[in-house]
Amino acid sequence: MSMNERYEPHSIEARWQERWASAGIFQAGRRPGAEKRYVLEMFPYPSGAMHMGHGRVYTIGDALARYLRMRGYDVLHPIGFDALGLPAENAAIKDGRHPAERTRENIVAFRAEMKSLGYGFDWDREVVTADPEYYRWNQWFFVKMLERGIVYRRQGKANWCTGCQTVIANEQVVDDRCERCESPVVEKVIPEWAFRITAFAQDLLDGLDGLKEWPDRITTMQRNWIGRSEGAEVDFAVQGSGDAIKVFTTRVDTIYGCTYVVLAPEHPLVAKVTAPARKAEVDAFVARMRKTDAAERTGESAPKEGVFTGAHAVNPYTGEAVPVWIANFVLAEYGTGAVMSVPAHDQRDFEFAKKYGLPIRVVIQPSTGDRIPGPDALAAATTEDGVLDASGPFSGLPSAEARRRMSAHAKEKGFGQPTVRWHLRDWGFSRQRYWGTPIPIIYCEEHGAVPVPEKDLPVVLPPQAIITGTGEPPLAKVPEFVNTTCPVCGKPARREVETMDTFVDSSWYYARYLSPKDATRPFDPEAARRWLPVDVYVGGPEHAVMHLLYFRFWHRVMRQLGLVFEDEPARRLVTQGIVNGPDGRKMSKRWGNVVAPGPMVRKYGADTLRLFILFAAPPEKDIDWSDEQVDGLFRFLARVWRIFHARQESFAAPEAALAQASGDFLELRRRTHRTIQRVTDAFEKELKFNTGIAALMELVNALYQLEPRSDADRAAVREALVAVATLLSPFAPHAAEELWHEVLGPAARDRLLAAEPWPAFDPALVAADTVTIAVQVNGKLRGEVQAAISAGEADVRALAEADEKVKTHLAGKTIRKVVFVPKRLVNFVVG
Ligand SMILES: [Zn+2]
Ligand SMILES: [Zn+2]
């Protein structure tokens, strides 16, 4: 039987997908004795069809998982759906359909598309967060965390999105607008539930040092977001009153240069300390600031403005009284709502001092030994650390040491203390929306907020809720849901009507995959021992400070609960770039440049799309969709197909003949083994699938150059064909599987390439492919040349004659004879 001449992806892809599935080769746990690898991609939010961003992240993860499986690891590569949350609810409001119904449909479509791309997921472990069997464990974690004080109720100033009609996280506010719907976000004080993530701040920070295989920019963003700053609190006593202004500073080493202090206009002391003569002006300024929003007031470009209160406060280090001002750039809720101003060493203070004619005093000199002449010579503040000057007993100390000593001094004298401050805030997670996990709390008149007992979990979302997107939470309008009895006293009580932030769902799903059907616990800790941490996590860099921080937090909670044992949830993080439209702009309906995976699979087949995604650039780089490149990759696969077809007579070549391969066919063998090495490197080192695919293209080109004539030639060609099919397998698995079966024939009938071992290369064949050849003239060594190992006499002679040293010995002489020993020597006999 001879193979089909044409490459027709649609006639092969579905067939292999079925074979893989029925053989169960993607199920984790098939190789209990082997080392494990857990490859995970961030699970999708199934709103509408798959988009190209999904196509990219799952293709990257799948290529890697397929490779690792062929390397002999026991591979866990699961998938699920992040199905609760606002987008589905907002879509439901728009088209009047229930989010559950819509989500179910989307998942069916999504699953089919993923299967059509040939992704080797362990579908038996699929997790859907909208399933009560999943979110009951969110509720279980809530109760456990409530018991441990990690969950608490607070009166919070919350970001209220006027469009979504709910509280959203700080991280979702961009320029005072909602990241999702772009409506204005306003501040609202409401009771809310929060996770005490700040209790883990130091551990989350320390853990970043161990994440050596995460991109630096992600760990840097987390470090900044956690935002630890060491500093000191110092009290400035207000003259003529018993009050003190508490300031926080990270630069207590500059305090001898403090020439004024500034309160936020909202600071409670403002009214108290303002001198009667200054009252009218101060009140007017405060009133104006109340009306201006915080971002506008404190923005980089906002002009610095303020007014003097008429009061003075005493710098406890110098005993000097300095004026007390209020200014737009200090906010009551940040730090202590008061700052000490050191114009010589802080640029904002410098500009303010210049504007209002306040004194400037230099107290830090460069550690280089240069001296700043005086404040008048300063064009800007000098903000670097240095050596203290004009700083009383601390003069001469380097900044870092001075900070330690000076904050200790404040503590000793009772006017301050060393302090650590964090940018990180607790995670307020209650939402006034429907499509989320119900918070398992019952409010009793007598007993207050009582957690739902474990045996009564899950608290299921009532399907009959009316979702309008406005007014009180939808659950409040479902009496059958709201009205219940108190678990303590049995009297009538009301259920919490708020639901959890969707980021709760994605904080621990990677662990639920370990035993997704477990009805007695969130997951099996023994499975966690086997599979965690995730070895490679693939997803978008936009999750740097939300999901990727939350799941590190949740992992720590699970460790406290004895469920997991590793420090961190994921060892290596791969952040993939964006797939832009053909015009280089972000794909958007607005630009009409959206290309979706589904239609591309129908047009070209899955393998071409996968190759395009992997070949266009390394995973972390952005790529632009290109019809030409996609066509080119389809043609490449067709070209691969044709060379297999054209070399069918090699399929039966005896392997024993390989050792006799010589000349161009020995060179082909070397190229085959070097290609194995290059493709292996593309997986083992930095992920550079593009260079691996490029190496395969070169090998295919080389095959086109050769016409095998002997058994030895054909054996070398067969070896190359088997390598091409095998190495292509993680990238274009369907074509690879088909071609491999063509070459191997009946010997492979019951085998699958996707479960075969990854090929090893022969180091001898990969070794440097050039040799050093000695050049003699009349038997005397006159030089040497580097030549290809397969180079013939003509090539070597030409190289030798071009050598400068050899040239001088040949000049003016007649070459009578040339003796050539391949790979060793060339001797010119001259007279
Ligand atoms: Zn919104
Ligand atoms: Zn009660």
Distance 487 CA to ligand 2 centre (A): 7
Cβ-based burial of 775 (10 A; exposed 0-12, middle 13-18, buried ≥19): buried
d(CA 139, CA 454): 9
Q: Which ligand is nearest to the CA of 167?
A: 1
- pLDDT for 507-522, tens place per residue? 999 999 999 999 999 9
Distance 512 CA to ligand 1 centre (A): 30
CB atoms inside a 10 Å sphere around CB 315? 20
Q: Is the pTM here over 0.85, yes or no?
A: no
CA dihedral 613, 618, 623, 628 (to 10 degrees): -50
Distance 445 CA to ligand 2 centre (A): 7
d(CA 681, CA 706): 27
Distance 180 CA to ligand 1 centre (A): 5
- pLDDT for 623-634, tens place per residue? 999 999 999 999
Residue 2 has a pLDDT of: 63
Distance 475 CA to ligand 1 centre (A): 19
Q: Which ligand is nearest to the CA of 448?
A: 2
d(CA 132, CA 757): 40
DSSP for 695-744, please give it: HHHHHHHHHHT----SHHHHHHHHHHHHHHHHHHTTTSHHHHHHHHHHHH
Distance 170 CA to ligand 1 centre (A): 12
Distance 474 CA to ligand 2 centre (A): 24
Angle between helices 733-744 and 711-728 (to 10 degrees): 150
> Nearest 5°: CA angle at 27, between 24 and 31?
105
Residue 805 has a pLDDT of: 87
Distance 284 CA to ligand 1 centre (A): 34
Sign of the torsion angle spanned by Cα atoms 666, 671, 676, 681: positive
- pLDDT for 415-449, tens place per residue? 999 999 899 999 999 988 899 999 999 999 999 99
- pLDDT for 543-585, tens place per residue? 999 999 999 999 999 999 999 999 999 999 999 999 999 999 9
CB atoms inside a 10 Å sphere around CB 578? 16
d(CA 344, CA 350): 6
Q: Which ligand is nearest to the CA of 160?
A: 1
Strands (E), 499-657: 499-500, 534-539, 570-575, 579-580, 623-624
User: Is 679:66 a contact under the CB 8 Å cutoff?
Assistant: no
Helix (H) or strand (E) holding 40: strand 36-41
Q: Which ligand is nearest to the CA of 494?
A: 2
Distance 483 CA to ligand 2 centre (A): 13
- pLDDT for 131-182, tens place per residue? 999 999 999 999 999 999 999 999 877 788 888 887 777 777 888 898 888 9
For the record, the structure tokens of 828 come out as 């010119």
For the record, the structure tokens of 400 come out as 């870092």
Q: Which ligand is nearest to the CA of 487?
A: 2
User: Is 739:753 a contact under the CB 8 Å cutoff?
Assistant: no
Distance 292 CA to ligand 1 centre (A): 22
Distance 450 CA to ligand 2 centre (A): 8
Q: What is the mean pLDDT of the chain?
A: 93
Helix (H) or strand (E) holding 482: helix 479-482
Sign of the torsion angle spanned by Cα atoms 138, 143, 145, 150: positive
Coil, strand or helix: which one is 249?
A: strand
d(CA 580, CA 236): 56
Cβ-based burial of 21 (10 A; exposed 0-12, middle 13-18, buried ≥19): middle
Q: Which ligand is nearest to the CA of 484?
A: 2
Cβ-based burial of 652 (10 A; exposed 0-12, middle 13-18, buried ≥19): exposed
Q: Which ligand is nearest to the CA of 179?
A: 1
d(CA 92, CA 123): 28
Distance 167 CA to ligand 1 centre (A): 9
Where does the pLDDT of residue 200 fall: very low under 50, low under 70, confident under 90, or very high at 90 and above? very high
- Is residue 331 scored above 50 in pLDDT? yes
Distance 438 CA to ligand 2 centre (A): 20
Distance 502 CA to ligand 1 centre (A): 14
Distance 443 CA to ligand 2 centre (A): 8
Distance 411 CA to ligand 1 centre (A): 46
Distance 141 CA to ligand 2 centre (A): 23
Q: Which ligand is nearest to the CA of 161?
A: 1
CB atoms inside a 10 Å sphere around CB 456? 13
> Nearest 5°: CA angle at 289, between 287 and 292?
120
User: Is 234:246 a contact under the CB 8 Å cutoff?
Assistant: yes
- Is residue 668 scored above 50 in pLDDT? yes
Ion ligand 2 nearby residues (CB, 5 A): 444, 446-447, 486, 488-489
CB-facing half-sphere around the CA of 180: CA atoms within 13 A: 20
User: Is 629:612 a contact under the CB 8 Å cutoff?
Assistant: yes
Q: Helix, strand, coil: what percent of the chain each, to 5?
A: 45, 20, 35
Distance 183 CA to ligand 1 centre (A): 5
State CA 558 to chain mean position distance: 22
**Mean pLDDT lowest for which of 190-194, 337-341, 528-532?**
190-194
Distance 496 CA to ligand 2 centre (A): 14
Distance 186 CA to ligand 1 centre (A): 11
Distance 446 CA to ligand 2 centre (A): 5
Distance 165 CA to ligand 1 centre (A): 7
Where does the pLDDT of residue 831 fall: very low under 50, low under 70, confident under 90, or very high at 90 and above? confident
Distance 488 CA to ligand 2 centre (A): 5
Residue 1 has a pLDDT of: 47
Distance 154 CA to ligand 2 centre (A): 21
Contacts of 53 (CB under 8 A, 6+ apart): 540, 578, 579
Q: Which ligand is nearest to the CA of 444?
A: 2
Antiparallel, parallel or unpaired: β 338-341 and 173-174: unpaired
d(CA 637, CA 724): 11
Residue 731 has a pLDDT of: 98
For the record, the structure tokens of 243 come out as 């009050």
Coil, strand or helix: which one is 1?
A: coil
Distance 160 CA to ligand 1 centre (A): 8
d(CA 817, CA 830): 7
d(CA 56, CA 54): 5
Residue 699 is which amino acid? L
d(CA 252, CA 295): 27
Residue 581 has a pLDDT of: 94
Distance 177 CA to ligand 1 centre (A): 8
Assign residue 426 a region: left if phi > 0, alpha if psi is -120 to 50, beta otherwise?
beta
For the record, the structure tokens of 351 come out as 């500009």
- pLDDT for 261-272, tens place per residue? 999 999 999 999
- Identify the bridge partners of residue 177 per DSSP, sorted by sequence position: 174, 184
% of the chain at pLDDT higher than 70: 99
Distance 415 CA to ligand 1 centre (A): 45
Distance 453 CA to ligand 2 centre (A): 13
CB atoms inside a 10 Å sphere around CB 432? 22
d(CA 461, CA 11): 45
Distance 447 CA to ligand 2 centre (A): 4
CB atoms inside a 10 Å sphere around CB 566? 14
Residue 293 has a pLDDT of: 75
DSSP state of 586: B
Distance 440 CA to ligand 2 centre (A): 15
Q: How many residues does the chain have?
A: 831
Higher pLDDT, 338 or 86: 338
Distance 507 CA to ligand 1 centre (A): 22
User: Is 678:691 a contact under the CB 8 Å cutoff?
Assistant: yes
Distance 504 CA to ligand 2 centre (A): 28
Residue 470 has a pLDDT of: 65
User: Is 128:33 a contact under the CB 8 Å cutoff?
Assistant: no
d(CA 324, CA 317): 17
DSSP for 292-321, please give it: S-HHHHHSTTSPP-EEEEEEEEE-TTT--E
Residue 471 has a pLDDT of: 64
Distance 452 CA to ligand 2 centre (A): 12
Q: Which ligand is nearest to the CA of 450?
A: 2
Q: Which ligand is nearest to the CA of 89?
A: 1
DSSP for 56-91, please give it: HHHHHHHHHHHHHHHTT-EEE---EE---SHHHHHH
Residue 356 is which amino acid? Y
Distance 448 CA to ligand 2 centre (A): 7
Residue 469 has a pLDDT of: 66
Residue 654 has a pLDDT of: 93
Residue 299 has a pLDDT of: 73
d(CA 346, CA 45): 46
Q: Which ligand is nearest to the CA of 489?
A: 2
- Identify the bridge partners of residue 306 per DSSP, sorted by sequence position: 327
Residue 399 is which amino acid? S
- Identify the bridge partners of residue 112 per DSSP, sorted by sequence position: none
Distance 477 CA to ligand 1 centre (A): 22
Q: Which ligand is nearest to the CA of 485?
A: 2
Coil, strand or helix: which one is 450?
A: strand
**Mean pLDDT lowest for which of 328-332, 408-412, 613-617?**
328-332
d(CA 329, CA 620): 38
Q: Which ligand is nearest to the CA of 446?
A: 2
Q: Which ligand is nearest to the CA of 447?
A: 2
